[in-house]
Every structure is written in structure tokens, then in C-alpha cells.
Amino acid sequence: MSYSASTVVVVGSINVDQLITIERHPLPGETLIGTSMELLPGGKGANQAVAAAQLGAAVSMVGLVGRDPQAEVATAILTRSGVNLSNVRAVDGPTGLALVTVAADGENTIVIIPGANALLGAEAVEASATVIAEAAVVVLQGEIPAEGIVAAMRLATGRVVLNLAPVIELDAASIRRADPLVVNEHEAALVLAQLAPKMVIPTEDAELVARLLDWGVPSVVLTRGAKGAICADRDGTHSLASPRVVAVDSSGAGDAFVGALSAQLAAGSSLSESVRRAVRVGAFAVQSRGTQTSYPSLADELPLVRA
């Protein structure tokens, strides 16, 4: 089939990130004084859409925001990046919110209040059936209801990239629709436990990937932070290193990775070629604060993997 101009369609969450910086994360019951606070656009779906668009992909976003002032904040960089927002609708209730705390060492904690994203079920997704069906790549994440994910998969005629983060309950047939399934090592273990409840879950990353393939997932990308990623499909398994950089803020780096991966797949690159570029994009993103504000454009020089 011939695909429309919206080569990548992201069906997913749109949030405002309340970003707090702090010297270290508090212990349970402890109160600490932070160093700064700002409101920034976020949400895994929106992050991935921005990352793909800034790397040259034609992107449409399917999602929901609230009828509140936060909606404008949440969509500001989507608009600036040229993402088509004609399938983003306003509903009664608040726009999604993520409470992000980043310590001086770059490690983060995130608490999400779904807001409007919780309403992105089957009916809301089906309202965008045409744009989803025409996409070369449809990108999904775990920040929307499972029924919305399943509906998008049913409508998709192109490749489905499923970043099951956070891990939510999905039926086995839907998990096997992912091509690729993109997860970190913790998420991989949880997904494998859904597919094979009686299995002793392996602890080695490569073994997790192999078992997911054994249980019918067509292709898998396991992200490993500073260690890069492992990808596997019918062409083989590849371990791809990440550039060495100084991490300032790791929040949103996984979404930068998924956006870059999706853009490359839509452009016709192989899975391993796409992952090779995505690890460099993720490494770029951790070098500055925020999520969407840290993502590269085509004009930026990505860090290199050195031998």
C-alpha cells in the first residue's frame, strides 16, 4: 500500500511534567529542600512523537488533553516540532501530569497522574482509524489503557512499535503483535511473566530477549541505559554499545530512543541500523535537563560510539 504523509503515528499519552531538581532523592518519610521546579511538556507518547519529528519523520499524534490551561503547555513542543495534532482532542478533566524528581547524579523518579490519558480507550482511538491505518509505523506505550492499545493494533496496517512502559496487562496476542517490543530489562522480565507465567524468569539480558522470541514476539529491543541495547529479529541478535557521555538527566531518554527507532524504521532502515542510531539519540538526550527539550534535531551532532 502507499502510505500517507504521516509516516509515523504515535497513539499515546500527553502530559505536563512538573520537573523538580534536588541534590539526592529523599528516604521514606524524609523531607528535603529542592533546588528548582519548572513545568515542561511530557508524556511518553508526546515525547516519542517529538523525538521522531525532530529527526525528520512526518508524525501525527493521537491523544487526549484536558480542557485546562495545562493543555497548551503539554502540546507546545509538539506544535513547534511540526507534529500533526489534528487527532489530539480535548475532553473534560485535567491534562495528564507527571511528577518528575531529578537528583544531582541524573537519576530520576516519576509519578504519573493519567488525567485525560485514562480516557484514550477503544472508542477514542477508533475515532482516528484512518490516520492509524495509513501509517507506516504505529507507536504505542503503556501510559494509555490496554483497550486503546489493542484497538490501535487492530487498526494498524503498518509496523507496530510497542514500548510497554510502564508494563500493563495485555493479552498474549497483542504482545506478539509488537514488531518490535521495546522494553528495558525490568520490563522485559514482567512481559515474559505475562507470556509464560510458570517460567523461571532469566536474569541475563540476552536470555530475556531470547525467551521473548521463543514465546512468539517477532522482534525485541532491550534497552540497557549506558550499556546500549540488544536487538533481535529473524536476521539475528545484535548487542549495540552506547556512546559514553556525562548524564545530567535520564528522564525521557528512553522515549528519545523509541522516537528515533520509529523514525528510522519508517524510513526503511533495518532493526539493527535503527537501534544503532537510537542509542546515539538516547545518549544525546541524557546530557541536558528535561525530556522534549533535550532531544536532538537533524542539525545536532550525535555522540559517537568509540572503540
Give Cβ neighbours of residue 128 (< 8 Å, ≥ 6 apart).
9, 11, 62, 87
What is the C-alpha to C-alpha distance for residues 17 and 290, in angstroms, rounded to an integer?
A: 9
| Contacts of the segment 237-240: beta carbons below 8 A, 24+ positions apart | 237/206, 237/209, 237/210, 238/272, 238/275, 239/206, 240/272, 240/275, 240/276, 240/279, 240/305
Residue 254, annotated as binding a ligand: yes
Residue 259, annotated as binding a ligand: no
What is the C-alpha to C-alpha distance for residues 52 and 263, in angstroms, rounded to an integer?
A: 5
Residue 282, annotated as binding a ligand: no
Residue 106, annotated as binding a ligand: no
Residue 203, annotated as binding a ligand: no
Tell me if residue 179 is catalytic: no
Residue 12, annotated as binding a ligand: no
Residue whose grid cell is 525485541 = 220
Residue 86, annotated as binding a ligand: no
Length of the chain: 307
Residue 123, annotated as binding a ligand: no
Residue 49, annotated as binding a ligand: no
Q: Out of 179, 205, 233, 255, which one is annotated catalytic?
A: 255
| Residues paired with 233 in a beta bridge | 236
Residue 290, annotated as binding a ligand: yes
Residue 255, annotated as binding a ligand: yes
Q: Crossing angle, helix 253-266 and helix 271-285, to 10 degrees?
A: 150
Q: Cite the active site residues.
A: 255
Residue set of the binding site for K(+)? 249, 251, 285, 288, 290, 294
- Per the annotation, binding residues for substrate are 15-17, 43-47, 143, 255
Residues at the binding site for ATP are: 184, 223-228, 254-255
Residues placed in the known binding site: 15-17, 43-47, 143, 184, 223-228, 249, 251, 254-255, 285, 288, 290, 294
